[in-house]
Amino acid sequence: MQLKLNLIAAACGDNLGIGINGRLPWKLKDYGNEAIVCQSLQHVLATISKPDLCDIVENIWVIGGHAVYKAAMDHPNCSRIYLTYIKKDFECDAFFPSIPNNFIETSDNNIPSDIQEENGIQFLYKVYEKVSN
């Protein structure tokens, strides 16, 4: 089975801010604890190779920060980037890396393509797919 890496992030402003002081600069809904948390891409790949996981995990969702996003985008198994553009500026000291040229914008039928709003903050979902390694 070919393991896929997908990135998921929310970023604000022209410089794609993703964090401040090691935390998110905005409040998100709590979606539960259905995740295995790893500290690096190497740690993920080592963890996922364990016999109890390697046959059941098909997708890894990378949730940051900057260095982990960058390493994942450069990995040959990176498939997609799901990026939420927040239409409000927040103070940030960590930023989403530049999306490489071998990713193109695409659509996903499960992702709304128009501007969304929650708690008075507008945001837009974009999906990018890797076209070559």
Q: How far apart are CA 65 and CA 13, in angstroms?
A: 17
For 64-74, write each residue's pLDDT tens digit.
Answer: 889 999 999 99
Distance CA 126, CA 49 (A): 30
Q: What is the dihedral of CA 120, 8, 129, 48, to 10 degrees?
A: -160
Mean pLDDT of the chain: 89
Using DSSP, state whether 74 is helix, strand or coil.
Answer: helix
pLDDT at residue 1 in the model: 53
Span 99-119, average pLDDT:
94
Cβ(39)–Cβ(46) below 8 Å: no
Classify 69 as helix, strand or coil.
helix
Task: Enter the pTM of the model.
Answer: 0.87
pLDDT in tens, 7-20: 999 999 999 999 99
Q: How far apart are CA 40 and CA 72, in angstroms?
A: 9
